[in-house]
Amino acid sequence: MYILDAFSYLENVATYQNMLAMLIGVMVGLVIGAIPGLSPPMAIALMIPVSFNFPPETALILLVSCFAAGIYGGSFSAILLRAPGTSASAASALEGYEMTKRGRAIQAIRISTFASVIGGLISGVVLLLLAPPLATISLWFGPSEYFLVALLGLTAIASVAFGSLIKGLISGLLGLFLSTFGIDTYSGFPRLTFDLVGLESGFDIMPAIIGLFAFAQGLELCEGDASGNISGVKKLSWNIWPKVSEIYHVRWSLFRGWITGLVMGIIPAAGGSVAQWIAYAWEIRRAKPGDEFGKGEVKGLAATEGSNNGVTGTSLVPMFVLGIPGGISAAVILGALMIHGLQPGMRLFKTSPEVIYTIMWGFLFANVIMGFIAIFLARAMAYLTLFPRGIIGPLIMIFSVIGTYASTNNIYEVWIMLGFGVGGFYLTKLNFVPAGILLGIILGPIAENGLRDLLTVSQGSPISFVLTRPISVALIICIILAIYFSLRPKKWD
């Protein structure tokens, strides 16, 4: 029934206002997403006042277009400069930037664009056709599942620790330790805040990402030959259209990335930042002789880029159907939905189907528009990799400071970002793993709160409680397999 309903509203999307809204949303999302610190939620929030002038469906099309493009835009700076624009593009910086350094920036952008656009489209189709049943599934995820999803994510630390497993694990533990800073939700106790009001919220993800990746990268570029460039070549190939052969080469990586994104999307609060790492670790565990993970392996990039846009559509499922936003961007869109007089929930599908399905179609079309605009934008942005390091390095550091302050209006966060930046720079030189620290910071609170919630709801018997829940048991099996495949010696090692 939902499927027939969905198709009957297809024509509604084809008005000039809706197309204009998609175009504006995509362009704003791409530009803001590409600047470290300026995140998709900020782009959406900036567009809300503009949306007041439009009817509800057009207004929401503007915002969901901004969301989809913002996630993809974050990958530009991650791939070209190792300065992720969003938390959902951090993992793409690992393989993407290594490809750029080896003069393969355009290939990385090609794969990223294909993975993101098709991932967004698949996710959009799932949103359009399966939203109500998927929303029910999202309710199955409770404390034990959140705890286990976080543990599964943490197993990725072993995979991203190229070179030294011990140093990778120490990095992960450092990240977990940093995630314990701030006021404890369960007791209200200020943990490790040293009476500093700026530490009461703990370490936010964005300053950590900007510091560990972007600012540290700025410092690294300032070292050595200032006249050299990032890509090490003088000219870039302009063959921006994806080749069938290279897509065929990464087909299974793309598939796994998209699936990871779709599944993680329906779990409220998990989102792209977790999905990327799970997809990336999955690829590394399946590495074959000849694969060069950590040195610009295209399969790793295909998986991370597929997963973060695979999340976008399905993360809107619990928001539209249950009124439960799956992440910050969805929460801002939910606020806008209500400002426009629409109350989320199944009633919306009954009372205003023309609005809800038009928005969903708009999301789908926005992904197509995004692909075309991105290809032309990518050409311009890839030029950055030809600029002298002595110019790009300081520029990245300046944007890191501006972006951090602009996203929070909080000077404490700028200091925190600088701390992560300088710390990340030296830790990288010592072969520690910034990605491990970041994983600890992202997943630490999910694991801690999940475990404490689990102990509460299980009435003190967590193990027997977990074993009665099918999704939890499946997750435990995934964790065991992940650890096994991460630690087993590879024949070609």
Bridge partner residues of 388 (DSSP): 229
Q: Which residues of 466-489 are buried (b: 16+ CB within 10 A; e: fewer)?
A: beebebbeebbebbeebeebbeee
Residues 6+ apart with CB under 8 A from 461: none
Tell me the per-residue interface mask from 335 to 354 with another protein, x by CB under 8 A, - otherwise.
---xx-x-xxxxx-------
Shortest reach from residue 186's CB to another protein, in Å = 5
Shortest reach from residue 72's CB to another protein, in Å = 25
Applying the rule CB under 8 A, the residues between 287 and 326 that interact with another protein are 318, 322-325
Shortest reach from residue 404's CB to another protein, in Å = 11
Shortest reach from residue 199's CB to another protein, in Å = 8
Residue 386 lies near another protein (rule: CB under 8 A):
no
For residue 89, CA distances in Å to 55, 82, 197, 232 come to 32, 10, 29, 23
In 3-state terms, what secondary structure has residue 491? coil
Shortest reach from residue 345's CB to another protein, in Å = 4
Structure tokens at 79: 């791939």
Residue 52 lies near another protein (rule: CB under 8 A):
no
Residue 464 lies near another protein (rule: CB under 8 A):
no
Shortest reach from residue 132's CB to another protein, in Å = 13
* Neighbour tally for 115: CB within 10 Å: 31
Structure tokens at 477: 């099996």
When binding is defined by CB under 8 A, the residue of 3, 14, 46, 139 that contacts another protein is: 139
When binding is defined by CB under 8 A, the residue of 143, 153, 313, 403 that contacts another protein is: 143
Residue 2 lies near another protein (rule: CB under 8 A):
no
Shortest reach from residue 77's CB to another protein, in Å = 22
When binding is defined by CB under 8 A, the residue of 3, 46, 166, 457 that contacts another protein is: 457
Among candidate residues 38, 11, 157, 5, the one with its CA nearest the CA of residue 406: 38
Number of chain positions touching another protein (CB under 8 A): 47
Shortest reach from residue 187's CB to another protein, in Å = 5
In 3-state terms, what secondary structure has residue 409? coil
Shortest reach from residue 471's CB to another protein, in Å = 11
When binding is defined by CB under 8 A, the residue of 222, 412, 419, 431 that contacts another protein is: 412
Q: Which is nearer to another protein, 307 or 449 (CB)?
A: 449
When binding is defined by CB under 8 A, the residue of 227, 245, 459, 464 that contacts another protein is: 459
Residue pair 71/90 in contact (Cβ under 8 Å)? The answer is no
Tell me the per-residue interface mask from 188 to 227 with another protein, x by CB under 8 A, - otherwise.
xxx----x-xx-xx--x-----------------------
Residue pair 62/78 in contact (Cβ under 8 Å)? The answer is no
Residue pair 131/320 in contact (Cβ under 8 Å)? The answer is yes
Helix 56-81 to helix 353-382 angle, to the nearest 10 degrees?
A: 30
Residue pair 105/378 in contact (Cβ under 8 Å)? The answer is no
Residues 6+ apart with CB under 8 A from 112: 72, 75, 79, 92, 96, 301, 305
Residue 474 lies near another protein (rule: CB under 8 A):
no
Shortest reach from residue 254's CB to another protein, in Å = 30
CA 78, CA 34: separation in Å to the nearest integer? 8
Stretch touching another protein by CB under 8 A, among 5-13, 70-78, 93-101, 451-459:
451-459
Whole-angstrom Cα Rg for the chain: 22
Applying the rule CB under 8 A, the residues between 430 and 449 that interact with another protein are 449
User: Which position has the token pair 């709160």?
Assistant: 449
CA 227, CA 117: separation in Å to the nearest integer? 35
Q: Which residues lie near another protein (CB under 8 A)?
A: 138-143, 183-190, 195, 197-198, 200-201, 204, 268-269, 318, 322-325, 331, 338-339, 341, 343-347, 407-410, 412-413, 449, 453, 456-457, 459
